[in-house]
A and B are shown apart, each in its own frame.
Chain A
């Protein structure tokens, strides 16, 4: 016995089937493409730093600030937690400031004002030898 197409004639059924297959095809393609693009998720890079130089309480490097607090070393990422611009040290004002959207941070990297709403990220490091350390940078 033929299938009852009273409320859904054959042409509409085939059209619906065709559209359904299109959606499935697009979904599968998107999934595969997304997985392909995700291949680039790399781990953090590192920077090696020589710390045998004369003690400076505060120093600005390309990717981070170095803060020497008695014998404790801290490295603060210069990447603004808002949208990733490079935070600058404002010597005259005595604070760090993002030049893109105006977020401000204390010399210790604590959030002061602006859209960042978070402190500067503190970077971890490990001793390579007594004069050199390896700093782990964040992604990007």
Chain B
């Protein structure tokens, strides 16, 4: 039987790919800083960055894909180790830091998407704000902390700071706490760098539409299309807060269960498959006006 997680001579481990992607994201992100203006018109600054210089176009795509590959590799790495039941040997505190790493990693990539200032990211910013507002008691404060969706402050500059500082720093720290190093295996670093460069060259990352563009449908980043689909038919609190919290809660529970973890693992698998189905519907079937098969 083929083991999809077995390391081969040509393919590094998924954890190493994730770490390498993180490193490449940090490097490419730092190189993009001078060209990106989050305060005035972020979309225009990115458009200029990619149009004025071919390397800028490459760098933007490279950075964008490094975040995507980081998420994918981290997800597969997580699944691999859940299947191997390594959570049974974790203390709760160690496991808690891993859960936190998962959350800040997703927020680090998502906040990067939000910072661009495109039509899609502006809509996503409003949706994110709307979801945070449904959190009881502290929803308003959470929204103000992360987004500051008011007239006085450009929300893109706030979320950009969280992207470049808050979530990135937390991701790096928690990664170090997890594996006690930040140096990736040399081969994995080269392998991932080559993969990202190839992707950036042959499939330049889409920038999205300008914020004032007239579009018939707005689709968020691929990892949140499922959430967008769920929001179209579920209450906001259920889709945006309860659903992810249930998955996080089940994951957090695993080390306590030791050998009795099978039902919880199945529950997590069912929820992830459901999310995948929603993502497929949102990606392939939703068209104009977010209608099924809309032209």
Contact (A90, B151) CB under 8 Å given A85-B123, A85-B218? no
Structural contact, B236 and A83, CB atoms closer than 8 A: yes
Q: Note all chain B residues with C-beta closer than 8 A to A88.
A: 214-216
Q: Is A37 an interface residue (CB 8 A)?
A: yes
* Per-residue B-contact encoding for A82-126, CB less than 8 Å = 1, 0 else: 111110101001000111111010000000001100000000000
Contact (A140, B233) CB under 8 Å given A99-B218, A101-B290, A102-B290? no
Q: Which residue numbers of B lie inside 8 Å of A, CB to CB?
A: 119, 122-123, 126-127, 129-131, 138, 140-141, 144-145, 148-153, 212, 214-218, 228, 231-233, 236, 286, 289-291
Residue in contact with A101 in the complex, picked from B122, B150, B212, B231, CB distance below 8 Å:
B231
**In the bound complex, how far is the Cα of B214 from the Cα of A58, in angstroms?**
17
**In the bound complex, how far is the Cα of B153 from the Cα of A41, in angstroms?**
11
Structural contact, B126 and A85, CB atoms closer than 8 A: yes
Structural contact, A83 and B144, CB atoms closer than 8 A: no
Name the distance in Å between A59's Cβ and chain B's nearest Cβ: 14
Structural contact, A42 and B150, CB atoms closer than 8 A: yes
Name the distance in Å between B240's Cβ and chain A's nearest Cβ: 9
Contact (A42, B152) CB under 8 Å given A83-B126, A83-B131, A99-B215? yes
Residue in contact with B289 in the complex, picked from A45, A84, A104, CB distance below 8 Å:
A104
Q: Which residue numbers of A lie inside 8 Å of B, CB to CB?
A: 33-34, 37-38, 40-42, 44-45, 62, 79, 82-86, 88, 90, 93, 97-102, 104, 114-115, 139-140
Contact (A37, B145) CB under 8 Å given A84-B126, A115-B232? yes
Contact (A140, B129) CB under 8 Å given A86-B123, A90-B216, A114-B232? yes
| Most chain B beta-carbon neighbours within 10 Å: one of A83, A88, A140 | A83
Q: Which residue of A lies closest to B153 (CB)?
A: A40
Contact (A37, B144) CB under 8 Å given A85-B127, A99-B216? yes
Task: Provide 7 A-B residue pairs closer than 8 Å at the C-beta atoms, listed in order of the A residue.
Answer: A40-B144, A41-B144, A83-B126, A85-B218, A88-B216, A98-B289, A101-B231
